[in-house]
Amino acid sequence: MADRKAILEVQNATLKFGGLTALNEVSFDIKEGEILGLIGPNGAGKTTCFNAMTGVYQLTSGQIRFDGQPLARMKRNKITKLGIARTFQNIRLFKAMTVLENVMVGADAHSKVSFVEALFRLPRHRRTEAESIERAKELLDLVGIKARHDELASNLSYGDQRRLEIARAMATNPKLLCLDEPAAGFNPAEKQRLMELIRKVRDNGYTVLLIEHDMRLVMGVTDRIVVLEFGRKIAEGTPEEIRDNPAVIAAYLGVDEEDAS
């Protein structure tokens, strides 16, 4: 893993909201083809860091580079086109659309069809639409819900809605797929299936960033883990190294490092 290219680099990222420092000189990278976990207690700065990567927030200082390109002041739609896709803690589907249509919305992020071509259904529009449908069905097959492609998204179970959201994010053809609390509300069996899906996504050529509270899931699926506490990075390493790290144990159990070691 060490010799792989870093696809995303977070360098001394600091983000302040008034008198509150949400991120304090945080640095880490994500390497091509890995599953990186970003964890920490509530209020640690995980989602803030995630939002800074995807253009929701602008850093106060420091920088984030994706594929060598700085993301500062870049609009969210451009970041998506650059190759970063994300899901959300709260599911954000178009529930009045079908499952297939939801995924096709993601594919539209890279569409080069003009308004006139779409309006009059000219040949390039028809060809692009056919390719989009085929790609959407491939992704639905990958996440395990292809058989339900004609149903309304609102009719899916909670777990399948999560799978649909992942498929829609993947439809933007990302180099980096960011999953924000994908196991929220899942029972143990659903979490196990989610772990299998995340591995499958990575094995299909995607790099994955995972923010997740469930430590069993994180430890079971990631290659490396970065740990935040109060906006600072306190640890980084393999799941085995993080599991035995006194600073991480102290952060999660609320005890002194000396007592945790």
What is the H or E stretch that residue 208 is in?
strand 207-211
DSSP label at 178? E
CA-to-CA distance for 248 and 236, rounded, in angstroms? Answer: 10
Can you give the pLDDT of all 261 residues of the chain as single tens digits?
657 899 999 999 999 998 899 999 999 999 999 999 999 988 899 999 999 999 999 999 999 999 999 999 899 889 988 999 999 878 889 889 999 999 988 776 555 555 445 554 566 656 667 788 888 999 999 999 999 999 999 999 999 999 999 999 999 889 999 999 998 888 888 899 899 999 999 998 999 999 988 888 999 999 999 999 999 999 999 999 999 999 998 887 665 555 444
Residues 184 and 176 sit within 8 Å (Cβ to Cβ): no
Angle at CA 62, nearest 5°, toward 7 and 231?
Answer: 90
Domain ranges within the chain, ordered by starting residue: 1-83+174-261, 93-173
Span 1-83+174-261: which CATH code?
3.40.50.300
